[in-house]
Chain A
Amino acid sequence: MNETLNPERTIYNRQMAIFIFCIAILAKLADLPALLTRQVQSSAFILIAIYCVLEVIVFVFIYLFAVGRGVEYLNRSHPAVKIPIYAILFLLLIFKLFFLSTYAINVVTDLFFDTIDPVIIVMTMFPIIAFMVKKGIQPIARTAEFFFLICFLMIAFIFMFLDTEVNFNRLKPIFTDAPAKILDKGLSVGLFFGDTTSFLLVMLRKHQKNYVPVSLFFSYLLVIAITALSIAIFGNALSISQNIIVELVTYNQIVAIIGRLQWIGLIPIMILITVDLSFLFWGTAEALTGIIKKREIATYVVLLTLLIPLLAISNYERIFEFSTGPVGYISFALSFLLPIVCYIMLCVLRRKYAKVN
């Protein structure tokens, strides 16, 4: 196998650790707690905790695949193996990308700027994302690195001046439905699962300390903690919120001094959305490149595939309804199984090449 790392898809383990933080915070704290609260009330907390544990398990396979330069082996494998894997990956990621994009537009227009037309959001946000994707994974990773501390400090700031009453009794699960039905509801929101699937396409450069396990542990722990805090504060009323961070930030202890902190909540959310969408977009374009071989064309195809429906959609609520249908279950299954399949394939291909050499 070629010993040099392809710079176009190589990131440092430090950058991967930061990506994990950004992705976990946005994907799990976006609309998921509200959606689950709407469906299973306070059992949402347990479901999110299960989701996070599953996410960590799946990530172990993804990490092993990335460290083992799985994507290089995949590219060298027989077309009958690589094309279906790339095709499945592309479909999964483009659905997730489309879904996250609609969420991003919705959160910006509904929560902050109801006077701005969604078309303007699309037309201003996506050129930046497309620019980053065109430049490759490194600028996206560097942007994430640059903003990491800012986002972290802002989230810490939000919680430092939290002004609300907390009732942890609300965390007790009330099993209004049978556990099987609760799990069923949980599986339906599969597009919120598999945040780290795009890492299947990166190659990891080990550099100094490995922060990935630390980041993985603390990011998902933070997600669980914030979810627990939100349910303890809002209870079932959480079902009407669209973003936990914004809900938590709106009223604070220092409102009289520096005003409402909505915009402090908006800044990390917008940053995380840009980083997350760029990374997902890059992954989708790379998956398509694995099939059609031309990266630039793949980037434009993904951009158009995304923009046309985004510009045509008039009601974003329907997208959420659609996402919790069969697409949600399929997405969950694929996000769970694909990394495992990829890792098994890597082991098989490694043995094969070892024998050849």
Chain B
Amino acid sequence: MIMSIDGFIKQIKDAFVNSDDLMVRSFTSGGLDCAIIYIDGWIDKEILDQDVLKPLIEVNVKLVPPYLDKLKSTLFFPEDIMVSYELGEVCTKVASGDIALLMEGAESFFMLSLRKPPMRAVAEPPTESVLRGPREGFIEDIKTNIALLRKRLRSPKLVVTMMNAGRYSNTSIAIMYIDGIADEKIISAVKEKISRIDIDGVIDSYYVAHRLQERKFSIFDEVGTSEKPDIVASKILEGRIAVLVDGSPVCLTVPMLLLESFQDSYDYYSSSFRSTLVRMYRLLGALFTIIMPGMYVALESFHMHLLPLKFLIVLFNATSGIPFPPAIEMLIVLLLFEILNQASVRMPRFMGISLSVVGAIVLGDTAVKAGLISSPAVLITALSAIGIFCVPDQVQTFSILRTLFVILGAVLGLYGIIIASVGLVCYTTSINSYGTPFLAPYAPIVAPDLKDGFLKADEVDMGTRPYSFPNKNRRRAK
């Protein structure tokens, strides 16, 4: 293949369907016609002008093949020059933000990487703010995210494997783990699952998360997520595998245990007594969320005789005169809450306070005063609504389960609640995430890992990596 500049420019323009942001700049270097092709807005134009175009234009000796040696001696970053022979590959790289350098008579294309994609600064993630500990969060740029992890794990054993997925998005995906700690079978399984992704575009890491899940229709999120590099770094140190997706600030980790949803980075930056207490609160919050509305409906509908007399009198006074049966009343309050929640997430922030006032005071208080809903139902829903955010990773799951428990409580009473609880545990025990029982270290009981369960031991006593999932080196401290 001998390069004819005009012909190739035309072919590349055709491949990009004459897209307006495809820039072509022609110039002469050492007596040869040259051109660079790139996508506007993706590259660092200052470096392009200073370090690429200027030195090339200033070449005053006649260039002869092979051109690569001359380019390497002329440009400031010789190691970043890549050679490409396929037009299709050139187009893909240009679309990904690389610069194609075409030289008259050359046998190949030269690719330069001067990407400078638009990105925001590293900041504290809004969903994982902390009282104590690092405040850096991942951003949408994969290279920055890799660097944030490398900053914490400065070891040559930290392996980064790059892959691409998405027919049109051609999204970069980084698999990160520590060689010698992470289990090879899990690494292979993750790589295989990512290589099998064949969709139009990978817009966010959740596209990958759904495909990393072992069970297609699981009600639980079986892949860990975090926006904080300190959390992901500690998970990698435990032997987990992290998956970063370009364009997403959410890092995925596998294998995942349900217990992880109850843990927070703050637990590791405070005393073990405090952490234990906080984890217990989270567990109670989760139980309140899932069971309490259903339990209330079941007790009020079928089993009032089980309640203590004083409590019964208070409840009877508060609920008498309500026009709806307990189940409908609870479902209405839950529905109202979900609507308010969705509205508050999507509406502009400056209107959030007004919505809180409208939702909590106007709607709630007025509805109770009007006798449409009872105050215990509002109280239970409020407790459940607050409790759900004790475990933010499983909000969607708990919301579904809460509704299911209300329905079963309304139809079958306490029997429904108990059978649903038993069924839920049976279902959860059957989940395996990359060879790891989802309910470990409680089912099965993995005694050494109980020290970082709901009861948390001191950091000094955690000398071993988790036994709950496979990893190659158990000891992490002498």
Cβ of B297 under 8 Å from chain A: no
Contact of B443 among A112, A143, A270 (CB under 8 A): A143
Contact B415 A146 (CB under 8 A): no
Residues of B within 8 A of A124 (CB): 412, 415-416, 419
Q: Could you say which of A135, A260, A274 contacts B430, with CB atoms under 8 Å apart?
A: A135
Question: CB distance A116 to B412 under 8 Å?
Answer: yes
B386 to chain A, nearest CB (A): 24
Q: Does A270 contact B437, Cβ atoms closer than 8 Å?
A: no
Contacts of B414 in A (CB 8 A): 112-113, 263, 266
List residues of chain B with CB within 8 A of the CB of A263: 303, 306, 414
Whether A113 contacts B413 by the Cβ 8 Å rule is: yes
Interface contact A260-B429, CB-CB below 8 Å: no
Interface residues contributed by chain B, number (CB under 8 Å): 30
In this assembly, does A15 line the interface, its C-beta being within 8 Å of a C-beta of chain B?
yes
Residues of B within 8 Å of A132, CB to CB, are 426, 430
Whether A131 pairs with B308 at a CB distance below 8 angstroms is no
Q: Mark A118-135, 1 if CB is under 8 A from B, else 0.
A: 001100110010011001
Query: A255 an interface residue at 8 Å Cβ cutoff?
Result: yes
B447: chain A residues within 8 A (beta carbon): 208
Q: Smallest CB-CB separation from B416: which chain A residue?
A: A124
**A93 nearest CB across to chain B (Å):** 20
Contact A141 B308 (CB under 8 A): no
CA distance A229 to B422 in the complex (A): 29
Contacts of A262 in B (CB 8 A): 306
A259 touches which of B306, B418, B445 (Cβ 8 Å): B306
Question: Which residues between 249 and 306 of chain A lie within 8 Å of chain B, taking CB atoms?
Answer: 255-260, 262-263, 266-267, 270-271, 274, 278
A85 to chain B, nearest CB (A): 30
Q: Known contacts A259-B308, A262-B306, A270-B418: does B426 contact A128 (CB below 8 Å)?
A: yes
Contact (Cβ within 8 A) A141 B422 = no
Whole-angstrom distance between the Cβ of B426 and the nearest chain A Cβ = 5
Q: Once the chains bind, are A142 and B444 in contact (CB under 8 Å)?
A: yes
Q: Are B429 and A116 in contact (CB under 8 A)?
A: no
Alpha-carbon distance A108/B418, docked complex (angstroms): 11
A139 within 8 A of B: yes
Whether a CB of chain A sits under 8 angstroms from the CB of B85 is no
0 or 1 for each of A301-328: is its CB under 8 Å from B? (1 = yes): 0000000000000000000000000000
Q: How far is the CB of A202 from chain B (nearest CB, A)?
A: 15
Please tell me if B311 contacts chain A, counting CB pairs below 8 Å. Answer: yes
Residues of B within 8 A of A125 (CB): 419
Q: Smallest CB-CB separation from B308: which chain A residue?
A: A259
| Residue in contact with B442 in the complex, picked from A121, A145, A258, A267, CB distance below 8 Å | A145
Distance A56 CA – B447 CA, assembled complex (angstroms):
27
Are A145 and B419 in contact, CB atoms less than 8 angstroms apart?
Answer: no
Residues of chain A contacted by B416 (CB below 8 angstroms): 124
Q: Is B313 an interface residue (CB 8 A)?
A: no
How far is the CB of A80 from the nearest CB of chain B, in Å? Answer: 37
Nearest-CB residue, chain B, relative to A259: B308
- List the B side residues contacting A69 at CB < 8 Å: none
Give the nearest-CB partner of B418 in chain A: A270
| B307 contacts chain A at the CB level, 8 A cutoff | yes
* A113 and B429 contact, Cβ closer than 8 Å, known pairs A146-B439, A259-B306, A271-B422: no
Give Cα A132 to B425, complex, Å. Answer: 10
Tell me the minimal C-beta distance from B418 to chain A in angstroms: 5
Chain A interface mostly helix, strand, loop or mixed? Answer: helix
The answer to whether A141 touches B444 (Cβ under 8 A) is yes
- Taking a contact as CB atoms under 8 Å apart, the answer to whether B308 and A108 are in contact is no
Q: Name which residue of chain A comes closest to B419, CB basis.
A: A124
Q: Which of A14, A115, A138, A255 contacts B445 (CB 8 A)?
A: A14
Q: A267 contacts which chain B residues (CB < 8 A)?
A: 418
Is A255 within 8 A of B430, CB to CB? no
List of A residues within 8 angstroms of B429 by Cβ: 139, 142-143, 146
In the complex, whether B427 has a CB less than 8 A from a CB of chain A is: yes
Contact call B311/A259, Cβ cutoff below 8 A: yes
Determine how close the nearest CB of chain A comes to the CB of B245; give it in whole angstroms.
32
Q: Inside 8 A of A12's CB, which chain B residues have their CB?
A: 444
How far does the Cβ of B183 sit from chain A's closest Cβ, in whole Å? 17
- B445 contacts across to A, CB distance below 8 A: 14, 145
A95 within 8 A of B: no
Q: With an 8 A cutoff between CB atoms, is B347 at the interface?
A: no
Q: How long is the Cα–Cα vector from A266 to B415 in the complex, in angstroms?
A: 9
B425 touches A131 (CB 8 A): no
Known contacts: A112-B415, A113-B415. The answer to whether A143 contacts B308 by CB under 8 A is no
A131 touching B426, Cβ below 8 Å: yes
CB-CB < 8 A to A121: which residues of B? Answer: 415
Q: Which residue of B lies closest to A264 (CB)?
A: B306
- B437 with A259: CB separation less than 8 A: no
Query: In the complex the two chains form, what is the Cα distance from A128 to B439 in whole Å?
Result: 18
The complex places the Cα of A263 from the Cα of B425 at a distance, in Å, of 19
Complex interface residues of chain B between 377 and 410 (CB less than 8 A to chain A) = none
- Complex CA distance for A131 and B425, rounded to whole angstroms: 12
Inter-chain CA distance A41–B369, complex, in Å, is 60
Cβ–Cβ < 8 Å partners of A135 in chain B: 430
Q: Which residues of B contact A257 (CB under 8 A)?
A: 308
- B78 at the binding interface (Cβ < 8 Å): no
CB 8 Å contact bits of B416-438 with A (1 = contact, 0 = none): 10110011011101100000010
B307→A259 contact, CB < 8 A: yes
Residues of B within 8 A of A15 (CB): 444
Q: 0/1 per residue, A200-214, Cβ < 8 Å to B?
A: 000000001000000
Cα A248 to Cα B415 with chains together (Å): 20
Write out, one digit per residue, whether chain B residues 296-315 have a CB within 8 A of any chain A CB (1) or not (0): 00000011011111110000
**Most chain B beta carbons < 10 A, residue from A15, A121, A142, A274:** A142
Report how far A208 CA is from B413 CA in the complex, Å.
42
Complex Cα distance, B443 from A255, in Å, reads 33
Instruction: Give the top 10 A-B pairs by smallest Cβ distance, nearest first.
Output: A146-B443, A142-B443, A142-B429, A139-B430, A135-B430, A259-B308, A139-B429, A128-B423, A145-B443, A270-B418
A-B contact pairs, 17 of them (CB 8 A): A14-B445, A108-B415, A124-B415, A128-B419, A139-B430, A142-B439, A143-B443, A146-B442, A147-B425, A256-B308, A257-B308, A260-B306, A263-B303, A266-B414, A266-B415, A271-B422, A278-B426
Q: A145-B443, A266-B414 are in contact. List 19 more A-B contacts (CB 8 A).
A: A108-B415, A113-B413, A113-B415, A116-B415, A128-B423, A131-B426, A132-B430, A139-B426, A142-B429, A142-B439, A142-B443, A145-B442, A146-B429, A147-B425, A259-B307, A262-B306, A266-B415, A266-B418, A274-B426
